[in-house]
Chain A
Amino acid sequence: MNVFDVMGPIMVGPSSSHTAGAVKIGYTARKLMREEIKEAKIYLHGSFLLTGKGHGTDKALIAGLLGMMPDDERIPNSFSYAKESGLEYEFEGIELRDAHPNSVMLKLVGIQGNKMEIIASSIGGSSIVINQIDGVEADITAAYPTLIIRNIDQPGHVSMVTSLLSKYGINIATMKIQRNKRGGNAVMIIECDQEVPSELLVLLSNAEGVKKVTYVNAVEA
């Protein structure tokens, strides 16, 4: 809790959780996709479904998917910007299990054909959590620069990643490691205190055993 969690952010109204938080969810999802989004199926849950329309949650999510930040004054007109940039979207209601009241599931397709499924929640103020990415528990907040590294579950990959990070002077704030089965697919989710330079991202992507590297800068606001 710092003073700027209480004072600010600068945002388009009316609600920090239902509007600003929703923009951040869309924005973070787009960052995770690392390409423009062509198709978005958006499933609203709980209070997002019940009061989302009146809070502009729908416009906010689309704005974020288009790369707008919570203080972007184009947010109220995001639907027409979506049309201009060829983003097709659909909204539906959903009942997600054990989800925060302000939650949404996004099924995204990028212009290069990448697909991603994300479940995210706006948890108060404009703080958000990305709960799941493609069925894997992520729990990232986008408050820190975050690395998501998918690798083969073999000895040595974690120490390789952490030593590369330390070589570049990057301190790890939090780190989570999961796998689906022994020797199967594993994922490291690393929140860092410093931004990760693109040179290091390339090194990590090409490292042995690494299948995919996704990186999200901290989302200010």
Chain B
Amino acid sequence: MSFRSLAEILNKCKKEDKPFWRVVLEDDMEERLVTEEESFEKMKQLYMAMKGADIAYEEGLSSTSGLVGGDGARMGRALSEGKTLAGPFMGEVMSKALKMGESNACMKKIVAAPTGGACGVIPAVLLTYEEQFGAFLQQMIEAMYVAAGIGQVIAVRAFISGAAGGCQAEIGSASAMAAGALAYLNGGDGECITHAAAMSLKNLMGLACDTVAGLVEIPCVKRNVGGAVVAISSADMAVAGIRSQIPPDEVIDAMREVGESLPRTLRETGEGGLAATPRGIEIKNKLMS
């Protein structure tokens, strides 16, 4: 049975005195009729594939349009030369988010989380956290369950595709999932996790899906950076004790309502927003010819 609300997950945590991640894992065992080991192993495979994709990044690759590639490496160099304001943690997260987004656009192997277009957000924050804070693999997989649980509620209650709800449904959902995972890793309890997710969604609400020429390239790759950075700030706010005044499930409902009222041109049709700028149209025409 899928969870229909974050509140439902929290109730189960309280009633059975279990952490958020375990409630999500046990639900998967029930849903797919698998053992704890089988479920855990599958989640671990996804995390290891994220790691593999990060390592496999190639600076020299470029996408179908020729407009995407090399930025993750650029960001990495600026970071190692000490030129960033963001500092070592956030700077590395930005670099990793770009790299994964670029790898996706260049037809490399990635992990959809929750989608291909938003595949950079979750690995960027989790892999950097593991590297820089020396977390155990076990904890990282637990954090993946936290992220997946949040994503599952968003998918059931609203949507996770740009065509259905705009970019807020892709990058916004990825950011909410990543924020919850980070809040967990940084000591947050179930309530803290859900508020981190809510604050991410609130900050990205209304984000349009306005892909140039309809491709998962512009602006998708760079929006992975936005999603990851918002996740860090939301997790920090939540761990600091800041709470969303709008309950998390109601924030998800609002995201749905906003997505449904977005015009068709801003839902992955490649017809509005950045796609409709003179340069956007020029790129499209060049690709079509």
Contacts and interface: CB of A to CB of B under 8 A. Distances in A.
Given A4-B28, A6-B151, A126-B112, A55 B215 contact: yes
Contacts of B117: 14-15
B287 A16 contact: no
Nearest to B50: A10
A7 B46 contact: yes
Contacts of A51: 213-215, 270
B65 interface: yes
Interface in B143-189: 144-145, 147-149, 151-152, 154-156, 160-161, 163-164, 177
B49 A10 contact: yes
Interface residues of A, number: 34
A133 to B, nearest CB: 27
Given A13-B103, A54-B213, A7 B119 contact: no
A13 B119 contact: yes
Contacts of A8: 46, 111-113
A76 B105 CA distance: 11
A13 B105 contact: yes
B110 interface: yes
A187 B188 CA distance: 55
Contacts of B103: 13
A14 B24 CA distance: 28
B203 interface: no
Contacts of B214: 47, 50-51, 54
B152 A16 contact: no
B107 interface: yes
A20 B145 contact: no
B254 interface: no
Interface in A23-54: 47, 50-51, 53-54
B107 A14 contact: yes
Interface string B115-130: 1110100000000000
Contacts of B149: 3
B109 A73 contact: yes
B108 interface: yes
A59 B106 CA distance: 13
Contact of B116 (A5, A7, A16, A124): A16
A1 B156 CA distance: 8
Contact of B111 (A9, A19, A125): A9
B42 interface: yes
Given A2-B152, A3-B151, A13 B216 contact: yes
Contacts of A2: 2, 28, 31-32, 152
Interface in B184-240: 213-217
Contacts of A11: 109-112, 116
A79 B103 CA distance: 20
Contacts of A76: 107
Interface string A112-135: 000000000000111000000000
A199 to B, nearest CB: 24
Contact of B215 (A54, A71, A73, A124): A54
B148 A6 contact: yes
- Shortest 4 CB-CB distances between A and B: which pairs? A13-B104, A6-B151, A3-B148, A51-B214
Given A14-B117, A54-B217, 7 more contacts: A3-B43, A6-B114, A8-B46, A9-B112, A17-B161, A51-B214, A54-B214
Interface of A: 1-17, 19-20, 47, 50-51, 53-56, 59, 71, 73, 75-76, 124-126
19 contacts: A1-B156, A2-B32, A2-B152, A5-B155, A7-B144, A8-B112, A10-B49, A11-B109, A12-B110, A13-B216, A14-B104, A14-B106, A14-B217, A16-B112, A47-B214, A54-B64, A55-B216, A73-B108, A124-B164
